[in-house]
Amino acid sequence: MPILKEFIELTDPPCILSLGNTNIVYLEHDLRELKKFTETGTSHVGYSGTLWGYPFYLFHIECEKLTDEVRHKIWESVFRSQSQ
């Protein structure tokens, strides 16, 4: 984690986008304002929060198995949460 944090700080991105829910296990203790988003009828989850001072978004990598409508609803919820 220290090297990842250092690379992020060096590149200073506008946000951090993570694909794969396994990542939440490793990052959760560093996340602030963590929000979890689900959609009825699916076990796929999206997250948003702040990681090391950067807006953070995470979505399950297998989201291609979802219908476009469900996938878009979860993504909208994840990204909208940071602007509120």
Helix/strand/coil (H/E/C) assignment for every residue in 14-69: CCEEEECCCHHHHHHHHEEEEEEEECCCCCCEEEEEEECCEEEEEECHHHHHCCHH
- Pairwise CA distance, residues 37 & 49, whole Å: 11
Going residue by residue through the chain, which has 84 residues, state the pLDDT in tens, using 9 for 90 and above: 889 999 999 999 999 988 877 888 888 899 999 988 877 777 777 888 999 999 998 886 565 666 777 777 777 777 776 655
Model pLDDT, residue 30: 93
Res 8: pLDDT:
94
What is residue 38's predicted lDDT score, i.e. its pLDDT? 77
- Torsional sign, CA 72, 39, 58, 82: positive
At the topology level, CATH places domain 2-83 in: Rossmann fold (3.40.50)
Q: Judging by DSSP bridges, how do beta strands 16-19 and 54-59 pair with one another?
A: parallel
Domain boundaries, the chain: 2-83
Bridge-partner residues for 59, per DSSP? 19, 46
